[in-house]
A and B are shown apart, each in its own frame.
Chain A
Amino acid sequence: MLQLKSLINCIDNSGAAVVECIQIIGQKKLASIGDRIVVVVQKQSPGHAAGMSASSSSGKVKRGDMRHAVVVRTKQRVTRRDGSVVRFDDNACVLINKAGDPVGTRVNGIVGQELRKRKWSKILSMAPMQA
């Protein structure tokens, strides 16, 4: 249930730690797992922030960058077709470029299985686990 101004954890190694949702792509009011959103990087992950000042040409994201992202976990319950329901303790996303490929090279953390149905197979293959 992510909307304008929602703060979301970024769980890849793109350099962003916390991002803010500014738009949901598609005619939707609320984003759920598998939805594509537009975000602004609000906080950089500490390791990347330090390296950024030294070498800004790492190709990773900076604070204030506007990027696309895919929601991979939500606190709001998601019901599956067989009646089972999944709920995570946080909201998380993975940054992607306009073509739909992930910006980072690694996903640290569990992602929802709904990504499979939405054909985010690249993110799924990077994730250590799915639930």
Chain B
Amino acid sequence: MNVAPLSRRPLGCLKTALRQSRQQNALVCRSMATATATSQSAPGLARLPDHNFYQLKDSKTKKLRSAFAVYQTPMVKTEPDPKKVVKRLPRNAPRVPAEKLPGFLIPPPDPMPMLHATQIARMDPTGARTALLAKTRQGARPGDILMVTHRRGGEPFSGVCMSIRRAGIDSAVLLRTHLNKVGVEMWYKVYNKNVAGIEIVKRARKRARRARLTYLRQPKHDMGSVSEIVAQWKKTRKIMSTRGGGQKGGKGKAKPAKK
């Protein structure tokens, strides 16, 4: 039946891998995903099935890459014959921890921090954006007045920081101000490349005792427009004269104002 060559059956290799994992089920707690970029020959590892499905060669780096997470097959000495019925190991067979098996790497329990770190390193090579989010004296805090400059031009948006969402690469700040007597709130992603810069115009006089200042929406606590404060700050910084405001952040730098 299965006379078609392997190249015509793109999922054939997957089948083999699944079969092998089924066979090793009793021995191995679980198999793991590696990074999506795979090196061709890792010492001590079983080679990936030689197949087009996996082998997408990057034209620049000449490295093999794959759009899919590639599951490492466990070390097997001989390829099981697909025609033979694979026998399962008995349930009460002694369990060998995965780290003791040759060729196994224990995956991190939570891969997300690593993913966020790599993405942040790419989006923020200078570390300025990360410094803004840091819970230090230099970082922004709820209650501060921030100014966000866009890369695409347009007027910078400034407002009171209502909350800071620290979520890795998705980190964002919520700003509120009044424009033409209408309250406007904006969420800005800190690591967005379109956000050329985020500057701290004015620090909160007292530390806010809440993480989210949603009470600023109430008329009693509303701070209104921040345009006067920002204009005053701009005058002192003397960036009104040139296009310094937009140009400064043009190289993907967030500039927390020093105090």
Seen from chain A, the residues whose Cβ lies within 8 Å of a Cβ on chain B are 73, 77, 82-90, 92, 108-110, 128-129, 131
In the bound complex, CA of A87 to CA of B187 (Å):
9
A89 adjacent to B187 (CB under 8 Å) = no
- Interface residues as binary, B91-135 with A (CB distance below 8 Å gives 1, 0 otherwise): 000000000000000000000000000000000000000000000
Candidates A82, A83, A85, A89; contact of B182 at CB < 8 Å: A89
Most buried by A among B170, B181, B185: B185
Q: How far is the CB of B221 from chain A (nearest CB, A)?
A: 14
What are some 15 contacts across the A-B interface (CB < 8 A)?
A: A82-B192, A83-B187, A83-B189, A84-B187, A86-B185, A86-B187, A87-B184, A88-B183, A88-B184, A90-B183, A92-B182, A110-B182, A128-B180, A131-B184, A131-B186
In the bound complex, CA of A14 to CA of B252 (Å):
44
Complex interface residues of chain B between 206 and 259 (CB less than 8 A to chain A): 217
B157 adjacent to A131 (CB under 8 Å) = yes
Seen from chain B, the residues whose Cβ lies within 8 Å of a Cβ on chain A are 157, 170, 172, 179-189, 192, 194, 217
Nearest B residue to A84 via CB reads: B188
In the bound complex, CA of A82 to CA of B172 (Å):
12
In the bound complex, CA of A108 to CA of B189 (Å):
30
A110 adjacent to B180 (CB under 8 Å) = yes
10 more A-B contacts (CB under 8 A) besides A82-B189, A84-B188?
A84-B189, A84-B192, A86-B184, A86-B185, A87-B185, A88-B184, A89-B183, A109-B180, A110-B180, A131-B184
Nearest A residue to B174 via CB reads: A85
Cβ contacts under 8 Å, B183 to chain A: 88-90
A83 adjacent to B192 (CB under 8 Å) = yes
A110 adjacent to B189 (CB under 8 Å) = no
Nearest A residue to B185 via CB reads: A87
A131 adjacent to B187 (CB under 8 Å) = no
Q: How far is the CB of A128 from chain B (nearest CB, A)?
A: 6
Cβ contacts under 8 Å, A87 to chain B: 184-186
In the bound complex, CA of A121 to CA of B170 (Å):
32
Cβ contacts under 8 Å, A109 to chain B: 180-182
B180 adjacent to A86 (CB under 8 Å) = no
B187 adjacent to A110 (CB under 8 Å) = no
Q: How far is the CB of A85 from chain B (nearest CB, A)?
A: 4
Most buried by B among A88, A90, A128: A88
B192 adjacent to A89 (CB under 8 Å) = no
Cβ contacts under 8 Å, B157 to chain A: 131
Q: How far is the CB of B184 from chain A (nearest CB, A)?
A: 5
Cβ contacts under 8 Å, B184 to chain A: 86-89, 110, 131
Nearest A residue to B193 via CB reads: A82
